[in-house]
Structure 1
Amino acid sequence: MRSTDGLLSDKHFQLLAFLITSARGCVDEPKLYGPLRLLDAASRLIEIMEDEGKASGEVLRLRGLVEEAIDVLMYDQEEFVRLTDELSRELARIIRDQKT
């Protein structure tokens, strides 16, 4: 039998496992936990991109906004929604700037 040590320590696999288990968790959790889990996955993906040298300064700044939104959810749901709107706009700006 093959050792899974490499697989279990692989950040891509860890993200995959997080996404799959989060999908199940979202079934029974409050409505806003879905977006929270997606932002947590986004933060983890940015960390992987950074480790692989693929995260620009703009992407790293996105992570700051993501982490701010995650922190805010526990005490201000309206601000959380506003921050997810801001994240969407910032992502759209990054995409637009890449095309010009």
Structure 2
Amino acid sequence: METNLQAGDMRERMLDFAAYVLTSARALYREPHSYGPMRLADTLEKGLELLQAAGIRDETVEQAMAAVRESRPVAMTDPEGFAEALDRAIAVLVQATLEVKPEA
């Protein structure tokens, strides 16, 4: 696996990610209930970016996230549509998990 960033750069990105997650968690106490799913999806997106910077990428996860990315702009105006996009993403990951064959 090839690392695309130097250790210092990776540490800085990891700190940024941790700060984002913690401040998002704290903000949820004052935000509308519907922000929770969006915050979690955004957190996953940032985590995936961090992994990609480290040279780790998975096409199945990218496929699953495509529906979420597509629906993200309307998440506040169409929460049910966003929930359906999350359901589609989950279905892609479940299907991939079912297709994984254990090594003998």
TM-score range, shorter chain: 0.7 to 0.9
Q: How many residues align?
A: 95
With structure 2 as the length reference, what TM-score do the two structures score?
Answer: 0.77
Q: Look up the match of 2:51.
A: 49
Structure 1 residues not aligned, in runs of 5+? 1-5
Shift of residue 80, structure 1, vs aligned partner: 0.8
Letter in 1 for 2:33: K
Flag the structure with higher helix content.
1
With structure 1 as the length reference, what TM-score do the two structures score?
Answer: 0.79
Q: Give the share of equivalent positions with the same residue, in percent.
A: 28
Structure 2 residues not aligned, in runs of 5+? 1-7
Alignment of 1:28-47 (within 5 A): 28-47=30-49
Give me the CA root mean square deviation.
2.1
Distance 1:7 1:26 in 2: 29
Correspondence 1:68 to 2:70: yes
Which one has more relative contact order, counting CA pairs under 8 Å at least 6 apart? 2
